[in-house]
Amino acid sequence: MGLSARQWWGLVALTLMWGVNWPVMKLSLQELSPLYFRALTMSAGALLLYAFFVRQGIRMLPRGKEWRSVAYLGAPNILGWHTFAILGVSELASGRAAILGFTMPVWTVLLGALLFGHPLTRRSTFAAVAVLLAVGLLLVDEWTGLSGRPLGIVWMELAAVSWAVGTLLMRRAQLTLSVEALTVWMMLLSSACLWAIAFVLEPLPSWQFSTTMWVALAYGVAINNGFAQVIWFSLARHLPPATSAMSIMMVPMIGTASATLIVGEWPRWQDGVAVVCVMAAIAAVLLTPRPTPESRTPS
């Protein structure tokens, strides 16, 4: 089933929101420490989503064993991904962090082969080589740069691997709770953990922010953790795999390009090569090849 014009515009808006969010996060970290930023935007966004989905008539309160699903799926999908990613953004240029974070689809394929015996193909092998090239190129550049921070690459790859593990667990989970309710409660529980970790590891924020900072926080809450999630849920049931892949492929490129305008980060040639490698890797593992005439089933 194809997407309507409204759905296509929603997909374009969603991809732009996800891409622009990377430099917006970097901008926010100029005035707020990483874990407090993540805890604040995630918890406020989750409460907005909770109110919205309650008005839609969706059952939001988990029952019995559904709480276990919230906990074990939320740990890698939300807590792990968002914690490691924000630490990576704090160390790296935001566009570079986006490139590394969206190596997730390739890690999903590789971990699926390692943990669950999923077959590896020539396409997935090519994707793995492309991702290793991108990560290696950026790692060398960070390691040799005067102000390089290779630890940021470690954080981002831990984030990507955590998201990949969560994706594999989601595919195997037998859920009775709606995806909307599951996501909101994963966000709420993860944000509670983040508030506690931030209280232990980071100094208390002053909460006296510039106007730009309040706008950036509002974007993180209302757009990235709010409106974008609503669009995603409305599209997810109708989104063909190839369309989803193209959307994911564009996020690192948009993040890198918008970082120049928002935080003044100028990409290096290594970033350009790396984003091409990651986009090629995502295409290899997510885009379905066209059937050849010999492989088509006769009608």
Q: For residue range 206-223, what is the model confidence (pLDDT) as tens digits?
A: 999 999 999 999 999 999
**Contact indicator for 157, 135 with CB cutoff of 8 Å:** yes
Neighbours of 176 (CB within 10 A): 12
- For residue 294, give both structure tokens: 């010999």
| Lowest-confidence region among 64-78, 97-111, 143-157, 214-228 | 143-157
Who wins on pLDDT, 250 or 39? 39
The pTM for the full model equals: 0.89
pLDDT of residue 236: 67
pLDDT of residue 291: 53
**Contact indicator for 74, 190 with CB cutoff of 8 Å:** yes
| Lowest-confidence region among 2-6, 45-49, 143-147 | 143-147
- For residue 157, give both structure tokens: 């790859």
pLDDT in tens, 28-83: 999 999 999 999 999 999 999 999 999 999 999 999 999 999 999 999 999 999 99
**Contact indicator for 3, 11 with CB cutoff of 8 Å:** yes
Contact residues for 114 (Cβ-Cβ < 8 A; gap 6+): none
Closest CA to 155 of 104, 118, 101, 227: 101
Q: Kindly indicate the confidence band of residue 18, based on its pLDDT and cuts at 50, 70 and 90.
A: very high
Percent of the chain with pLDDT over 70: 90
- Calpha distance 223→101 (Å, rounded): 20
